[in-house]
């Protein structure tokens, strides 16, 4: 891991959140909100217990996939963000990768990845205020 990745990971892990779930405050809220919006769901649906309807389960899988691939957090942390374990997060990543062959799914994922990449980081807020 290079220095830039370490600093970025440290920012994510240092955000205030729920210590019991490992959920990092603003990162989890942002991720849940954009994924839910992309799939026409309420953000709370992604955190619901149980599998739930197929559309909710897939949206949750997308959120865990993006957490792992774009935010570069571990499977453990990605799963915890949505009340799941590391094996579920890993399974989610495989499922989403398989579904990327569908142009509609790939387009939605491209949009979400760009939204995450353009998101201001906490350090950028601090620099802007100074």
Q: Domain range holding 35?
A: 3-120
In-domain check, residue 23: yes
In-domain check, residue 126: no
* 45 vs 2 pLDDT, higher one: 45
Q: List the CATH number of the domain containing 54.
A: 1.10.1750.10
Average pLDDT on 100-118 reads: 95
Is the pLDDT at 62 greater than 70? The verdict is yes
Is the pLDDT at 1 greater than 60? The verdict is no
Do residues 11 and 122 touch, judged by C-beta distance below 8 A? yes
In-domain check, residue 10: yes
Q: Using CA atoms in the order 10, 5, 22, 36, what is the torsion angle rounded to 10 degrees?
A: 120
The structural domain count of the chain equals 1
The whole-model pTM stands at 0.75
* Sequence-distant (≥ 6) Cβ neighbours of residue 52 within 8 angstroms: 45, 60
Is the pLDDT at 14 greater than 80? The verdict is no
Q: Of 34, 30, 25, give the one whose Cα is nearest residue 110.
A: 34
| Tokens 């892990």 -> residue | 13
What is the tens place of the pLDDT at every residue in 72-88? 999 999 999 999 999 99
Half-sphere exposure of 91 (CA within 13 A, CB side): 9
Is the pLDDT at 40 greater than 60? The verdict is yes
Residue 43, Cα to own-chain centre: how many angstroms? 12
């Amino acid at each position: 891991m290079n220095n830039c990745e370490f600093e970025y990971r440290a920012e994510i892990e240092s955000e205030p959140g729920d210590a019991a779930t490992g959920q990092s405050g603003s990162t989890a809220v942002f991720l849940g909100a954009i994924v839910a919006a992309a799939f026409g769901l309420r953000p709370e649906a992604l955190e619901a217990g149980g599998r739930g309807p197929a559309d909710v389960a897939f949206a949750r899988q997308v959120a865990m996939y993006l957490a792992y691939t774009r935010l570069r957090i571990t499977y453990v942390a990605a799963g915890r963000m949505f009340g799941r374990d590391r094996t579920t997060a890993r399974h989610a990543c495989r499922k989403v990768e398989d579904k990327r062959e569908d142009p509609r799914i790939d387009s939605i994922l491209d949009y979400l990845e760009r939204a995450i990449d353009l998101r201001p980081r906490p350090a950028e807020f601090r620099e802007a205020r100074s």
